[in-house]
């Protein structure tokens, strides 16, 4: 059911600053870069072992990431768990009374199915679920 930690999401003001840092300090470039118009965010992912660190930069001042940066500043935004069957996991979480932000999966980075669980249901951390393309 739960396969691995897919990625850790970090909200930032500038992906260019992040890319320069990773290039100079770690000698690596992003594994992928993508704009998700629906979420008004630009994402760069760096592969670390079997997981990624994803950095999220807002592309609009009213995006959720822009609001997060205004309220909390740069830093940890969410943790994502990769699952076999996202619909089953969402149903299970709902049956336990968890506060789901997404009751149905939507499409996220790399075309994966994703859904978010409210931080008040997961130790004050935004939890994302993702299912690989099948």
pLDDT tens digits for range 7-32: 999 999 999 999 999 999 999 999 99
pLDDT reported for residue 29: 97
- Read off the DSSP letter of residue 27: -
DSSP letters, 90-122, are: HHHHHHTT--BS-SS-EE-GGG-EEEEE-GGGT
pTM: 0.93
Q: How much is the pLDDT for 133?
A: 82
Encoded tokens for 109? 């980075």
Q: Which residues of the chain register pLDDT less than 70? A: 134
Say which DSSP state 39 is in. Answer: G
d(CA 51, CA 33): 15
Which domains, ranges and CATH numbers included, belong to the chain?
A: 2-131 (3.10.180.10)
pLDDT at 134: 65
Give the pLDDT confidence score for residue 107 in this predicted structure.
Answer: 93
């Amino acid at each position: 059911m739960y396969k691995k930690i897919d990625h850790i999401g970090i909200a930032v003001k500038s992906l260019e600053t992040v890319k320069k840092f990773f290039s100079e300090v770690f000698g690596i470039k992003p594994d992928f870069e993508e704009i998700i118009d629906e979420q008004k965010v630009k994402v760069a992912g760096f592969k670390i072992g079997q997981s990624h660190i994803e950095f999220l930069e807002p592309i609009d001042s009213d995006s959720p990431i822009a609001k997060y940066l205004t309220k909390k500043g740069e830093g940890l935004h969410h943790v994502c768990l990769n699952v076999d069957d996202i619909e089953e996991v969402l149903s299970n979480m709902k049956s336990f009374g968890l506060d789901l932000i997404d009751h149905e999966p939507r499409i996220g980075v790399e075309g994966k199915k994703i859904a978010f669980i409210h931080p008040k249901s997961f130790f004050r951390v935004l939890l994302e679920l993702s299912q690989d393309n099948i």
